[in-house]
Structure 1
Amino acid sequence: MAILASVAVAVAIAICSTAAWFIAKSEVYQLQQETLAGAPMSFRPPGGITGYGSTPAEAAADALHQYQALPSQTQSEFPGGVRWDMEVASSIDSVVVPSGPDPRGILLYQSDFDILREAVPGAPPPKPVYRLGSYTNGESAMVRLTTAYQVKNAQPVLLVTATPLTKVDHSLDQLALILVAVSIVGIGIAGITGRLVARAALRPVHDLTDAVEHIARTEEVGTTIPVHGNDEIARLSEAFNSMSTALANSRERQTRLIADAGHELRTPLTSLRTNVDLLIRSNDTGRPLPEATRTKLLGSMKAQMQELTGLIGDLLQLSKPDSPRPMENTSIVAVHEIAQRAVGRAELRGPGLTFEVALAPWYSRADPAALERAVMNLLDNAVKYSPPGGTVEVGMQHGRLTVRDHGPGIAADELQYVFDRFWRSPSSRQLPGSGLGLSIVAQAVRASGGEVTLGPAQDGGPGALAVIRLPGAPEPPPSELPPRPPAQTPGSDAS
């Protein structure tokens, strides 16, 4: 960034300095042109020649005409040759030339006499022409070309005015050196300033790099960096802090899941180990257990193994990501049919309970097995907490599946924990279960794009009300309908 800043400043300074030098040159040359245009002139003819005219230029032109009318031998007595000098302001030279380049004084070119073609006697003289030129000794000059008219025959002659540019060019060279020096100093200051600004601007990036290296070295997720401002670097810092916090929470949930799973597995394993040790001891000592006791131990061991199997299945289900993304193997399913099958299984588990079922058709995209397990877990909870001879109400209306029991219900201060993994109400910890059922329900429903809630019954009566809301429609899309069987024609074989 410091190098880029220096390069950018260097380019900007170079452009500005170059533009400033050319502007200064243009202004100085313009000033020289104005000086030439306004330079006062006077004419002092040599002895024997008199010039007439209303202006010094016209008088000089007229004197030049007289000079040209003299014999060649007489012309040689005058030092001016084909040029007629005029006295002008200090440091300005002026000559009157009839028709050709002057070999002395101001260096002229044949093209300079093109202005004479535009001169019309009796009309205003043509617009002056300015150009850069030089003297015959090589010194640079600003040259002004215009015309003057002879008094007697009104013929135009070239009036040349020039001023040396030696001092002007020297000043421009000094200005160029000053601009180069200033540019070098400015680029150096820009480089130092750019480095300081870059270090300050990229300080959060260095902090972020240090934090990432610290996490990679120590695996201590959750490390955050301070956020300043609202620019892109601040957004990057906020995103990193969010990611680090999410990783820390994920690791915390993973650690808690392992700890809770170990705690839940310890109880049935301890009971299994105790029963197995008892059976082995009785076999080693030769004192067999009574048949009733042995049968009871085997039944207990079978129940504990079933509990372990269910717990491991729940753990496998919960090992899937928590993010609400679509599950695999999804399709359009009949939610009311899944609920009806789950009710049939729940009736076998609660033979003394009454099930009131009112299921309207509803179709939604979901994983059939995961959704059925979720509904079954809600019905298992209802069966578990319903009093003997109680009623379980199951309804489906406009994508809203409800399961209502008439048990003790859930305390208001415990509602926020009901979908947490391994959480169990203190009043129900003596009942069988792992505390994973409602977590599986929440995961399956959210993966299907729905939502689930659990709270007290809305009519104010006893019991709890679980509600699942799923997106969908009362009828499946036409593309999801099974193909119709071909129509049978009379006499065809229907077998």
Structure 2
Amino acid sequence: MSARRRLGARWRRHRPLRTRLAVAASGAVAVVVLGVSTAAFFVIHYELYHQLDLNLTQSATLAIQQNRGARPSVLAGECRFLSAPACAQIVPADPAKDAHERYLLPVGPPVRAVASGAHTPYFSNITLPEGKPARMLTTPFGGGKSLQVALRSDSVQKGVGQAAWLLGAVGAAGVLFAAGLGYWVSRTGLAPLARLTATAEHIAATRDPSHRIELPPGPSGKEDEVIRLAVSFNTMLGELEQSVTAQRRLVADASHELRTPLTALRTNAELLARADRLTAAQRDRASGALGRQIREVSVLVNDLIDLARDEEPTPLLEEVRLAPLLAHTVDTARAHWPATPFRLELADASATLPGVPARLARLISNLLDNAAKFSPVGAPVEVTLLAGELTVRDHGPGIAEADLPHVFDRFYRAERARALPGSGLGLAMARQIARAHGAEVSAHAAPGGGALFRVVLPDAYPPTRP
């Protein structure tokens, strides 16, 4: 890498984006101003000298008309600006013919060549004997002679110089104005980025994702890339805030639910550690309680792991036939709840759903366990598979109106269910599995008493992450 590239890379690393944009904008304007000023200078230079050349041509024409047949000599020796004939002289092609003539204007080989016809007419810049600048035209006079006509050009040079200074001043002012304007535009245009950076730094320092970037009012910024970036960042912050809130709530609820069984486990374990002081019946009760509490903790931990499956990769899907899966799950529930009769009705035995069989079985199992837990002894649990819908109904006490909106919340347990076993995660997991398969589960008060859970199957399966 060359030294220039290393210097440029180091400058980009140590200069903020706002400064780089302002410098880039100023540089672009400076190049344009320099180009326009240079072009204007050459246009002015050309026009002024072109006008002077036209005057010289007119003076030469007039001198030829007025001095036809004149011998080599100085026709006029007073050089003035824009005056005719002004500093005119006739020079022969043969230097021997003007040996005794003293010329005012410089005579060189090109002048003799024009007189002999070997050279075309030409313009040149000269300095007069008194030190004044002049513009001279050398053109054929006829008869082997050439005519030299000169006009002072100091006024033209002064005008060109003034134009150069004026254009330079205007260009410098334009560059300064462009620099200020570029800095203002960079500050204004990158203001959302500055707010985004400040918000990100604040969130990193406080770990609080509730802050948002302030956006300009109205729909004017919909097409602005920076505003769209700020909107996208706010959306990301909203999702992050929901995720962090849900994570904190899950951790708080899980710690609360684990505290009681872990305390009971420790108590029974300490009690069994002193088994020599207990009777056989006391040891049996403590051992049975310890086994039940271990199972409850295991179920709770497994449910928490299943609820965290949203963060796992999507497993392989297959076309699941719901009727056999439902029949198998109901048979398993009958073995687990022998005192509860389960009635299965398959009105649509051909229904299929792309998904994960184990997750769908867990969804149905959680609904069946919930229904059996609240059903009186001998009261049936009715399971029906209809076209596009699965229902599970029990004949228990039902769900209170105030509890209906919360039955699928994690760790939520109605007042009448707090004395029953369970972690309060079964229905939350059922809803998560249903939504992952494009379905929706809802709870209702059944006609005549009891609770009714309805799983509406998707018409066209849009899997998310089962």
> How high is the TM-score relative to the length of structure 2?
0.72
2:324 is the counterpart of 1:337: yes
Q: 2:256 aligns with which of 250, 263, 266?
A: 263
SS in 2 for 1:382: helix
Structure-2 residue corresponding to 1:392: 382
Q: Is the 8 A contact 1:382 1:403 kept in 2?
A: no
Distance 1:362 1:112 in 2: 109
Structure 1 residue 370, shift from structure 2 partner: 2.1
Which runs of 5 or more residues in structure 1 are unaligned? 44-56, 68-74, 118-128, 474-495
Structure 1 residue 383, shift from structure 2 partner: 2.7
- String of CA shifts for 1:11-49, please: whole Å, max 9, x gaps: 122112112212222332344355556679767xxxxxx
**% same residue:** 30
Structure 1 residue 80, shift from structure 2 partner: 4.7
Q: CA RMSD in A?
A: 4.4
> How high is the TM-score relative to the length of structure 1?
0.68
Alignment of 1:65-214 (within 5 A): 67=70, 79-80=73-74, 90=83, 93=86, 105=105, 132-135=123-126, 137=128, 139-141=133-135, 143=137, 163-214=151-202
Distance 2:138 2:350 in 1: 103
Q: Is the 8 A contact 1:327 1:366 kept in 2?
A: no
Structure 1 residue 357, shift from structure 2 partner: 2.5
2:45 is the counterpart of 1:20: no
Amino acid in structure 1 at the alignment position of 2:371: A
Structure-1 residue corresponding to 2:16: none
SS in 2 for 1:464: strand
Q: 2:372 aligns with which of 383, 390, 407?
A: 383
SS in 2 for 1:24: helix
Report the CA distance shift for 1:439/1:174 in structure 2 as closer, same or farther (over 3 A): same
Structure-2 residue corresponding to 1:234: 227
Q: 1:445 aligns with which of 434, 444, 463?
A: 434
Structure 1 residue 311, shift from structure 2 partner: 0.6
Report the CA distance shift for 1:26/1:470 in structure 2 as closer, same or farther (over 3 A): same
Report the CA distance shift for 1:35/1:247 in structure 2 as closer, same or farther (over 3 A): same
Bigger-Rg structure (1/2)? 1
Amino acid in structure 1 at the alignment position of 2:248: T
SS in 2 for 1:455: strand
Distance 1:337 1:36 in 2: 112
Structure 1 residue 181, shift from structure 2 partner: 3.2
Report the CA distance shift for 1:395/1:116 in structure 2 as closer, same or farther (over 3 A): same
Aligned residues: 420
Structure 1 residue 314, shift from structure 2 partner: 0.5
SS in 2 for 1:320: helix
Distance 1:423 1:131 in 2: 105
Report the CA distance shift for 1:354/1:315 in structure 2 as closer, same or farther (over 3 A): closer
SS in 1 for 2:423: coil
Distance 1:30 1:383 in 2: 109
Structure 1 residue 333, shift from structure 2 partner: 3.5
- Comparing 419-428 with 10-19, greater Cα deviation is found at 419-428
Q: 1:361 aligns with which of 350, 356, 359?
A: 350
Q: Is the 8 A contact 2:333 2:369 kept in 1?
A: yes
Q: 1:246 aligns with which of 221, 235, 239?
A: 239
Structure with greater helix percent: 2
Distance 1:405 1:431 in 2: 19
Alignment of 1:424-435 (within 5 A): 424-435=413-424
